Amino acid sequence: MSALAMGGGGGGGSMPSETAPQYDPAVEYRAGLTALQAQRWADAEKSFRHVLAVSPRDANTNYLMALSKIGRSDYKGARSYLEKAVKLEPAMIPAHEQLGIALAKLGEADKAKEQLDWFTARATTCGTACADATVLQQGAAAVQAAIGAGKQARVAVPGLLMFASTQAGDGAYLAAVALINEHRYNDAILSLRAAEQVFGPHPDILTYLGFANRKLKRYDIAEAYYRRALAVAPGHRGATEYYGEMMLERGDVAGATRMLAQLDAQCTFGCAEADELRRWIVRRSNAS
């Protein structure tokens, strides 16, 4: 008999896909935050690696992974995650600050200066009265000091709002839902991002981020959020329904029909999400 048929060296006889670890990104994200706060850098890195395996385009997790690397004095490793974080979320001020400091620490003063220039440009656009004025000023000062110190720059993992309680995260999420019901989608997105900092790539948060962006006609951004939600939770009925509705809005009837088929396969005895998407498809067909 083949090694596979006999179970190989593992003795279980199961397929690798059946025995591979299954990680809940939201749980791993919170575990990573707890480890980071306790300065258990290796544990934090392990948890954030599990999150990124499912949701590699999550800017918050890339940033937190970088902080885990910084805690272990791995500035080169931190740099790549920080660069990805600011690419995914260009307005992420703490990531720009830590990137500038890490680059200075690595002896790349010219590139660190690019981050300082980013702070200068952002501060000019922001003005002295905007909400981020103080944070931008502090970030610029930190990067400037690091450039001056060069490889001798002192680096410390910052204590940030990322350690907000789950209650604060729940509050931000509930506020976002209320704002969506009031059609205040831009405000809802801000609240959802605050919740995302606490809970990471949670499928409910990603789904609502997709929904709010869709209502603002930002279809490409909405699609990216729906896809991320379904990558984290393939059976998420809300994301499947809303993604199908958006497909109809963009004229993709076949795509919406595929989403409905997925819902029907999940909802043996029917469910509200399948019924609602079916109504959308019928209305679309009647209007054609």
The average confidence (pLDDT) of the chain is 88
Measured CA distances, 108 to 74, 151, 224, 228 (Å): 15, 9, 34, 34
Q: Which tens digit of pLDDT belongs to each residue from 257-269?
A: 999 999 999 998 8
Q: What is the pLDDT of residue 22?
A: 65
Q: What is the pLDDT of residue 164?
A: 63
- Nearest 5°: the CA angle 238, 243, 249 is 130
Which residue in 170, 112, 178, 117 sits closest to 145, CA to CA?
Answer: 112
Q: Which tens digit of pLDDT belongs to each residue from 176-230?
A: 999 999 999 999 999 999 999 889 999 999 999 999 999 999 999 999 999 999 9
pLDDT above 60 (res 15) = no
pLDDT above 70 (res 19) = no
Q: What is the pLDDT of residue 159?
A: 61
**pTM of the predicted structure, to 2 decimals:** 0.82
> Which residue has better confidence, 157 or 159?
157
What is the mean pLDDT of the segment spanning 143-168?
78
Q: Residue ranges per domain, the chain?
A: 25-161, 235-288
Measured CA distances, 36 to 25, 91, 170, 267 (Å): 16, 23, 21, 40
Q: What is the pLDDT of residue 127?
A: 79
Percent of the chain residues topping a pLDDT of 70: 90
d(CA 88, CA 86): 5
What is the mean pLDDT of the segment spanning 124-144?
89
Q: 25-161 is classed in which CATH architecture?
A: Alpha Horseshoe (1.25)
What is the mean pLDDT of the segment spanning 263-286?
92
Say if CB 160 and CB 168 are below 8 A apart. Answer: no
pLDDT tier at 21 (50, 70, 90 boundaries)? low
Which residue in 136, 110, 138, 139 sits closest to 123, CA to CA?
Answer: 136
Q: Which tens digit of pLDDT belongs to each residue from 46-81?
A: 999 999 999 999 999 999 999 999 999 999 999 999
Percent of the chain residues topping a pLDDT of 90: 74
Lowest mean pLDDT among 138-142, 164-168, 249-253: 164-168
